[in-house]
Amino acid sequence: MKNVILKIPNITSYFFILLFCYAAISKIMDFENFQVQIAQSPLLSTYAGLISYSTIIIELIIVIALSFLRTRLLGLYASLFLMAAFTIYIYLILNYSDFIPCSCGGILQNMNWTQHLTFNIICTILLIVAIILLERKRSTRTSRLISNISLLLILSSGTVVYLFLTSEHMIKKENNFTRRFIPTAVMKSKALPLSADSYYLAGIENEKIYLGDPKSPLILTTVDTTLIRASARKLTLDNTHYQFRNVQLQVQKPYYYLYDGTVPVIYRGRIKDSIAKTISYNEVYFNQFIPLDSTQFAFRTIATKNKQFILAGLKLEKSRRAVVNLYANILKKQKDGIFDSDGKLLYDRKKSNLIYIHSYRNQIIVMNNDFKVQHQLHTIDTTTIARVKIRKLTNGSYKMVAPPLKVNKSSTVYGGILFNQSNLIGKHESPQTWKRASIIDIYRTDKQEYLGSFYIYNRNDVSISNMMVNGSSLYLIIGNELIKYKLNKKITDSYSTGKAENL
């Protein structure tokens, strides 16, 4: 029995030589996947590059140290440091993470995270026993031995906790463009084939989805939220004596709105009524339109003076007089005031907030109904200056002379949460996946905080053209299909609580 106990340090060393050698080689053989797994860790994603390389190097150094008698004790201490770090990491995953990532590959790939924790604890105890036996053989004092092991365990645990805390801060506040993907963020629920690929989402009210089609602008298509029944009806305008160029449709209970900012004219009709009446004509030209309520509207227009994009508001008075207010200081010019300020105007009806998200830079502007800026936020990429190449023409207008770097594509907002289709690839993300999917990043709109991301895969090589969120459902137009996805409860809980933590 005594001989068996004395052999424990050697047996332990051989075991960890095999374990770390296999682990290092398997990581090297599939390094890209290993790095992606680290990047998706809810605790260490910011340090994916550093950790992916250093872990392999440390494991190989430990293998070499354990292979020689003179350095075996040092190798056991290094093994204890690494196994203790792994153990604390798994403990944090199980107890302090909002989601548990997929299990890593390799020799332990069939274990769940609780089994990983048990295995690591056993390995840690085995290493402590081996170190004690080897140190006693060298006549090391007990007090010094306890001090060495305790200090190493504290150092190992402290390192992991430090990486966790600083990674959390960077991901939430100072993101270096490392995305965090939310497991099972969305689940496809239903798809409805459409007769054309030109439809867009015009609104969602009372368990009904409303679709518009620029090819048939006076047709209002209604689909129930189960995507089972669909119907279409023709709308009638009280005045059609205009040169229409771009008639659009929006629905906001209890009205629908038809408008063309090139005329400019706005019609309004009750959802149950097919006749739309003119409520504004020749007040302000616009290229984006948001109904805030039945008498107040938000626009994006072009200033007559400097030919730059500005935001505007229109209010219909009881006397039928329209009051237009221009807000020239919200959209900031960087180069030309048109291309560099291009973006999408959104309205969060749950929070009564206007959102303007730029297309060519990472800036998000949050305003109230009176156009008072509440927050200046940004997406996780680092594009603060629009990368557009333009040339000023003799008539004072600008022309784009090279394809720009588009940062943000389609967006929608609901309950203080912004869903943004990004156009930029982040660190440790697969280019192959980017070719087959769109990526949706999620942000809070009440403060600077990135919540996570998820993929929406293309349908027949076609990506998202339009999206809208309503409660726990995400509705997408992809090609000639209307698709409904169910959102993860981690996301939907953030609407009501206002405390959307790291997902």
334: which DSSP letter? S
- Dist. CA 386–CA 285, nearest whole Å: 25
- Report the largest interatomic distance among the alpha carbons of the chain, rounded to a whole angstrom: 103
Shared-domain flag, residues 469 and 384: yes
- Dist. CA 408–CA 373, nearest whole Å: 21
In a domain, 326, yes or no: yes
Confidence (pLDDT) at 500: 42
Domain edge (last residue) among 172, 199, 232: 172
In a domain, 208, yes or no: yes
Shared-domain flag, residues 346 and 414: yes
In a domain, 117, yes or no: yes
Confidence (pLDDT) at 501: 43
Mean pLDDT for the stretch of residues 369-397: 84
Shared-domain flag, residues 465 and 325: yes
Shared-domain flag, residues 324 and 441: yes
Confidence of residue 285 (pLDDT cuts 50, 70, 90): very high
8 A C-beta contact, residue 455 and residue 168:
no
In a domain, 201, yes or no: yes
Separation of first and last alpha carbons in the chain: 52
Confidence (pLDDT) at 339: 87
Shared-domain flag, residues 382 and 248: yes
- Dist. CA 353–CA 298, nearest whole Å: 11
Shared-domain flag, residues 158 and 200: no
Q: Which of these ranges, 117-126, 252-261, 390-399, 489-498, has the smallest mean pLDDT?
A: 390-399
Does residue 68 register a pLDDT over 60?
A: yes
- Dist. CA 139–CA 144, nearest whole Å: 11
Percent of the chain with pLDDT over 70: 88
Shared-domain flag, residues 45 and 190: no
Query: What is the per-residue pLDDT across 20-53, written as a single tens digit (0 to 9) for each?
Result: 999 899 888 888 777 767 766 666 666 777 888 8
Q: Which residue has the higher pLDDT, 161 or 108?
A: 161
- Dist. CA 256–CA 304, nearest whole Å: 29
DSSP string, 430-451: -HHHHHHEEEEEEEESSSS-EE
Query: What is the per-residue pLDDT across 336-365, written as a single tens digit (0 to 9) for each?
Result: 888 889 999 999 999 999 999 999 999 999
Q: Tokens 């689940």 correspond to what residue?
A: 187
Mean pLDDT for the stretch of residues 146-157: 91
In a domain, 181, yes or no: no
Shared-domain flag, residues 133 and 234: no
In a domain, 179, yes or no: no
Q: Tokens 């973006």 correspond to what residue?
A: 343
Mean pLDDT for the stretch of residues 253-272: 95
Shared-domain flag, residues 295 and 148: no
Confidence (pLDDT) at 164: 79
> Please, what's the b/e burial string for 376-404 (b: 16 or more CB within 10 A of its CB; e: otherwise)?
ebbbbbebeebebebeeeeeeebeeeeeb
Q: Which of these ranges, 126-140, 323-337, 391-405, 450-464, has the smallest mean pLDDT?
A: 391-405
Shared-domain flag, residues 431 and 455: yes
Confidence (pLDDT) at 499: 46
Confidence (pLDDT) at 291: 96
The CATH number assigned to the domain holding 406 equals: 2.120.10.30
Domain edge (last residue) among 145, 172, 199: 172
* Strand, helix or coil for residue 343: strand
How many angstroms from the chain centroid is the CA of residue 378? 12
In a domain, 45, yes or no: yes
174 φ/ψ angles, rounded to the nearest 5 degrees: -130, 50
Number of domains in the chain: 2
- Dist. CA 274–CA 236, nearest whole Å: 6
Confidence (pLDDT) at 503: 47
Confidence (pLDDT) at 357: 97
Domain edge (last residue) among 126, 148, 172: 172
Residues 6+ away with beta carbon under 8 Å from 7: none
Confidence (pLDDT) at 498: 44
Q: Which of these ranges, 131-135, 212-216, 426-430, has the smallest mean pLDDT?
A: 426-430
List the domain range (segments joined by +) for residue 339.
Answer: 186-497
Q: Which residue has the higher pLDDT, 388 or 117?
A: 117
Mean pLDDT for the stretch of residues 69-95: 90
Confidence (pLDDT) at 73: 92
- Dist. CA 312–CA 330, nearest whole Å: 10
Confidence (pLDDT) at 184: 87
Mean pLDDT for the stretch of residues 320-324: 83
Shared-domain flag, residues 423 and 472: yes
How many angstroms from the chain centroid is the CA of residue 379? 9
Shared-domain flag, residues 225 and 121: no
In a domain, 177, yes or no: no
Average pLDDT, the chain: 87
- Dist. CA 234–CA 107, nearest whole Å: 63
Percent of the chain with pLDDT over 90: 58
- Dist. CA 176–CA 171, nearest whole Å: 7
pTM of the entire predicted model: 0.72
